[in-house]
Structure 1
Amino acid sequence: MARSADERLLGPPVVSPTVTVAGIGAAAARAVLAPAGSARRLAQIALPVALLGWLVFAPMRPPFSAAGFGWWAGLASGCLTISGLLLLARVDWRCGIGRLAQTAALSACLVALLHPAPGDRTALIALTICALGLWAAALVPDLADLRDRPEMLPWRSRLYRLAALRWHGSARQWLAWERACRALALAGLLAAFALQTDLALTLAGLGDRSDTLLPVVLVVGAVLSGAGLIAALAAALRRQPGFDGFVTGRHLDILGRLILALGLAGLYCHVTEAVVAGLYGSPLERAALVERLSGAGAPAFWTLMGVGLLPTQALWVGPARRSPVTLGLVGTLVALGAGAGHVLLVPPPATGYAAALLAEIAGPAALFGLALIAAFRLVPAVSVAEMRGLALLHNRRPIALPGEAAGPPPRAGLAAAFASEAGLVEALRGLGTLDAVPLEAHGPAPMPEAAAALRRDERAVREAALVGGALAGLAFLAAQTLQAPGGLGEIPALAWARLAIPALAAAAAGAALGAGAALARHLRRPTSAPPPDWREVFVLTLVPGTDNPSAGALARRLSALPEKAGRPLALRRAEPVS
């Protein structure tokens, strides 16, 4: 199909024009409830068999290696870094891949926790807490949508009801949810930075390396492997029925450009390192370079170059970037090739570099795949709430709702439906000053304008994150002081500098716990709810009460508003929901 002029200039749309608010929730529910296809059934059989065979026939050594720790920690850091940066920057196209990145980051963290760490594990634990918090917080609106669907199985409905707490999509809840997700994303970025920095310092000590390129190599490799993994998952998701409108060619093209840029940066780092060691290095550095190029480390080094870096250059071609098959293949190779780079950074194992690399690919990768399959059998693979926000922004559709002929009784509550957030805000402006009236706005997507019109503000999440981060950082430093043999005065200055990175990781974990606790506490408060069949439109509700003004009078005022200045689509009576 020929592309339009706008598409040639700006690129493909971030959401298909056929995607609607109602269709997003239905597609997500179908994907969760649908029986497994042939590819998924094959994976559900092959991955456990591979994992069992790896455990049974592995040589007599620890099943998880220190090299694998760096690989899986890098994958987790890269995925969470990409997800956090896109969320904080409010990039539209994150909506199609955000859930994939968050789930992959959490699964990689769980696999990394099984590996022996070459250094301190504080940063990895902090990264796991941040990844779990962001993943769980971002899921709350989607689980509430699944909870309210009549086709949901009873056990699933009970599970989703427990996890979604009292979510009903009010303006205050959306405001707290957005701030919690942003706080968790920032905490995740700090934890990822702390993990990669701590890993670089530890590996520099193990391998007697002091070159300044090592931290850069680790960061570039982590983000590159994360981008490759996200691209592979996005390409696979795009081929699933009903999801091609959520993960469009725009996502594939941008992910391809990101992988290409990071691949060039990785090639630059490794080529520069080899050239500098060959031309200006000491005899020991030159011997290490020869060992890497043609000795025992050659299988891992050339796997890194030929599998992890060189295939990224195929993405210079535009059709290759937009092809799900090509991008998925390159992304998979990039994610696998990153493991070879971490195998090179640790002391050579007794079984050799090649055996260590194959062992990491065989067992932990199968465990990671099983974790992904289990997660996406319970939760949607895309963020329903964020995709609805995109659909409302780009794909407006006329909405017709059946209303009630008579106005609500005087002592009943009121629910007024609107096609958009802008219409609801216009109605609030048309009603004038109603500070004493307990009004609340509800919607299928975040409503910053409605929250401002209702003078809603939610600072508890931000304050809890700051307090939690400060307390956790101070508690970590206090614990290290108590463990010192001679007390505070015997700790050298360099030791305090070395503690800065773990303390930052502890503070990030504390901030994540504080933000998550504040959001959970907020969602436990009783709130009103829109009518069950109005979950996918914007609703203004008046909670019934003895001190409220007549709901019938308010309904007459809303009905008298001009059609283009806030008149609701339909009015209904509403009752309080605890």
Structure 2
Amino acid sequence: MPGNSIYPRGTTYRGVGDRVASILLDLPTRRRWWTAFLVSGALFLFLPATLVHLFIQGVGVWGVNIPVNWGLAIVNVVWWIGIGHAGTFISAMLLLLGQDWRNSLNRFAEAMTIFAVICAAMYPIIHLGRPQFFYWMLPYPTPFEVWPQFRSPLFWDVMAISTYFTVSLLFWYVGLIPDLASVRDKAKGRFWRVALGLAALGWRGSAMHWVRWRRAYVMLAALAMPLVVSVHSGVSLLFAAGPVPGWHTTIYPPYFVMGALFSGFAVVGMIAVTLRAWFKLYDLVTPRHLDLLAKFMLAIGLMTAYGYLFEALTAWTSGHQFEVDTLRDRLIGPFAPIYWGAVILNFAPIQMLWRRRWRTRPVVLFLVCLSVTVGMWLERYMLIISGLFRDYLPSSWGTYSAPWTEWLLFLGTIGFFLFAFVLFIRFLPMVAISEVKEVLFEERPAKRPAPEPAPRAAEPTNREPARDGLYGVLACYDRADDLVLAARRAVAGGFTRLDCHTPFPVDDLTEVLGLKERRLPWMVTGAGAFGLVFALGLLWYIDVMYYPTPVGGLPLEAWTAYGLPAFEFTVLLAALTAVIGMLALNRLPRLHHPLFEVEAFDRATQDGFFLVLLADDPHFDPARARDFLEGLDPAPALVREVPA
């Protein structure tokens, strides 16, 4: 195992927690943070200033015209959405594949997703011209009895982006809960303890909490993965579903998805290198993390290059004169500098990543990622503008030049992204503390004790014990394996009500305590099935019965068009049920618990492993429980009675 270790020797549970929590509580790089805060805040101010000018003057201050009615705003939508894809991909897909190296990158990658999606969502709302009525795009009954056009890719995008944002936010927050509790128990000031205590919802690391948390976390990952494909596929259909030359091709959905992951991985790479150097996270973001991240970039970059080649060959061999003309405009015409600039910036620097010595050099990786980020923006600009400026009618040909208002708006969204990220690293843990600790435990396990027979299941209870005014008797261990052994012996000794509290999930405890969670998966499955049936029924009823609108002589119902919005609603309802169900079954939020009164219990989120013999056991006797715990070998670090 040491040869495959992700983290260096000497990395400890408490060391990981201290390193990450110190950024929030002590801010060791205070001057750098304030510099970043002020610079990003200054850039962010361009956003409201430009929006005020835009709302007063109208969208006429943009450079859009006939025929280029989609300009820099839509270019930036596609670019920002693409950046937002890598966070979910890294976190969700690598979680499902059991890739532990994700644990140092997933938290800030997920934050990147959320901030990038917010930046992307701004542009379509502004582009409506009347942004205060953006909610008219949602299917809800109104006094006007006007419904969205469900066949429209614009409606598909509204559903896809809003669902993707919601599920990504839920996925991010569920992963944050144990880490918020970890920082809560380290905080000294009242502000931090109250704020983090509220955000952590009273998390205390119970074994059953961990079982349900993991179920919900994995189910959210499984739900988020198809969203990565559906969101950018939906965005691509805005272009591919139309007759515009250069857009009307079936390769756009996979081509856009690969390009999105490519640009997203590039931004994750830049963030990882920057935070690693800024906060000296060399033992958490190791050369192996950079190596694996660079390998993914290289692989996805090569797939994106194949998409470039396939798109050009498809247009060249199509026999469609306007498609060939659009390709010629890109290769040797007015858009040749942008096209070849995108090709060079995207695919020349990544060839350095074939060699490990370059993959593990932070400066090289940062420059490669920066090149790809700029190159992918040029590609989005080239794809959108070059397809519009010359269409089927030569009399309507035109040009497009983005004025300063569009550039300042773009600069403002970059400022918002950076500003939000600077606040994130200041007020929330940017590394998944509990997941890194779990990897440390799995990488360097102690010699496991031989299993002892467990004559009966010993599931923890949610009921409050009242015997002799006690909640139970608590024992603390310094090692997870000692806790597992003690729990086995407690079960074998006839204790039927016990619970364990740990800083990370310990799989052996699930078996020892006989913990099973069957309700949550059924709840999520039922919610998803209901969402699918409800969405399809609602769309059909509105189109056929309530508000029939003939379109192009087609049938009133459009089952193929219903697929994407119905899928999004299914995923949304299932994800909400997973989170709400997990919290409800765990009886969270609960801001006070008898265990919180035990002074040493704050180690339960740091490096302590606690066994609690609960007083609602029908045969509970405090003296017997205390004698049993004190007589165990290895002996616990402390034994305490916990008042109810």
TM-score bracket relative to the smaller structure = 0.7 to 0.9
Question: Contact 1:107/1:371 (CA < 8 Å) preserved in 2?
Answer: yes
Name the CA distance, whole Å, in 2 between partners of 1:334 and 1:459.
45
TM (norm. structure 1) is 0.87
Take 1:19 and 1:509, find their aligned partners in 2: how far apart are those partners?
39
**Distance in structure 2 (CA, Å) of the matches to 1:309 and 1:271:** 12
- The one of 88, 91, 98 aligned to 2:106: 98
Instruction: Report SS of the residue matched to 1:575.
Output: strand
Partner SS, residue 484 of structure 1: helix
CA distance in 2, matches of 1:420, 1:111: 45
- Stretches of structure 2 that go unaligned for 5 or more consecutive residues are 55-59, 65-70, 126-152, 390-398, 448-466
C-alpha contact (below 8 Å) 1:126/1:509 kept by paired residues: yes
Alignment-derived partner of residue 513 in structure 2? 454
Distance in 1, Cα, partners of 2:106 & 2:357 = 24
Q: Does 1:554 align with 2:632?
A: no
Cα 1:34–1:397, aligned 2, differ >3 Å: closer, same or farther? Answer: farther
Q: Secondary structure at the residue paired with 2:427?
A: coil
TM (norm. structure 2) is: 0.79
> Structure 1 stretch 264-273 or stretch 357-366: which is displaced more?
357-366
Task: Pick which of 237-246 and 366-375 moved more.
Answer: 237-246
Q: Give 1:506's aligned amino acid.
A: F
What is the rounded CA distance, in whole Å, between the counterparts of 1:546 and 1:14 in structure 2?
42
**Structure 1 position 256, deviation (Å):** 0.6
CA contact (8 A) 1:343 1:356 kept: no
Task: Give yes or no for the alignment of 1:246 onto 2:284.
Answer: yes
d(CA) in 2 for partners of 1:576 and 1:229? 51
In structure 1, what is the equivalent of residue 486 of structure 2?
Answer: 427
Q: Tell me which residue corresponds to 1:45.
A: 38
Tell me the residue number matched to 2:193.
157
Partner of 2:615: 544
Taking the aligned partners of 1:187 and 1:395, their CA distance within structure 2 comes to 32
2:17 to 25, 31, 40: 25
| Distance in 2 (alpha carbons) for counterparts of 1:396 and 1:554 | 29
1:141 equivalent in alignment to 2:202: no
Match of 1:178 in 2: 214
Shift of 1:359: 5.8
Measured after TM superposition, the shift of residue 495 of structure 1 is 1.9
Which moved further from structure 2: 110-119 or 439-448?
110-119
Distance in structure 1 (CA, Å) of the matches to 2:92 and 2:577: 18
Q: Residue 60 of structure 1 corresponds to which residue in structure 2?
A: 61
**Residues 300-321 of structure 1 deviation map (CA, whole Å, 9 limit, x = unaligned):** 4234223233221121221211
- Structure 1: which 5+ runs fail to align? 399-408
Question: What corresponds to 1:71 in structure 2?
Answer: 79
Alpha-carbon distance in structure 2 between the residues aligned to 1:31 and 1:294 = 51
Deviation at 1:216, TM superposition (A): 1.9
Secondary structure in 1 matching 2:610? strand
Give the alignment partner of residue 80 of structure 1, picking from 52, 77, 88.
88
For 1:478, the equivalent position in structure 2 comes to 537
TM superposition shift of 1:493:
8.6
Match of 2:384 among 339, 346, 356: 346
Q: CA RMSD in A?
A: 3.1
The Cα shift of 1:86 comes to: 0.8
Identity of aligned residues (%): 25
What letter is aligned with 1:128?
A: F
Of 547-556 and 128-137, the range deviating more from structure 2: 547-556
Deviates more, 1:50-59 or 1:13-22: 50-59
CA 315–46 in structure 1, closer or farther in 2 if over 3 Å, else same: same
> Counterparts of 1:386 and 1:344 in 2: how far apart (Å)?
41
Asked if the contact 2:484–2:509 (Cα under 8 Å) also holds between the matched residues in 1, the reply is: yes
Q: How does 1:310-459 map to 2 (within 5 A)?
A: 310-347=348-385, 348=388, 351-352=400-401, 362-395=411-444, 413-433=472-492, 437-459=496-518
Q: What is the Cα deviation at residue 246 of structure 1? A: 0.7
The one of 603, 608, 611 equivalent to 1:534 is 603
TM-superposed CA distance for 1:255, in Å, is: 0.4
Counting matched residue pairs gives 554
Matched, 1:522 2:588: no
Query: Structure 1 residues 304, 576: CA separation in 2 closer, same or farther (over 3 Å shift)?
Result: farther
Measure how far apart 1:436 and its partner are.
Answer: 5.7
Moved more, 221-230 or 274-283: 274-283
Q: Check conservation: 1:191, 1:509, Cα contact below 8 A.
A: no
Shift of 1:293: 2.2
Q: CA deviation at 1:511?
A: 1.2
The one-letter code matched in structure 1 to 2:154 is: G
Q: Could you say what secondary structure the match of 1:114 adopts? A: helix
Equivalent pair of 1:17/1:395 in contact (CA under 8 Å): no
- Residues 54-80 of structure 1 show CA distances to partners (whole Å, capped at 9, x for unaligned) of 644988129971222222122222321
**Alignment partners' CA distance in 1, 2:21 and 2:526:** 38
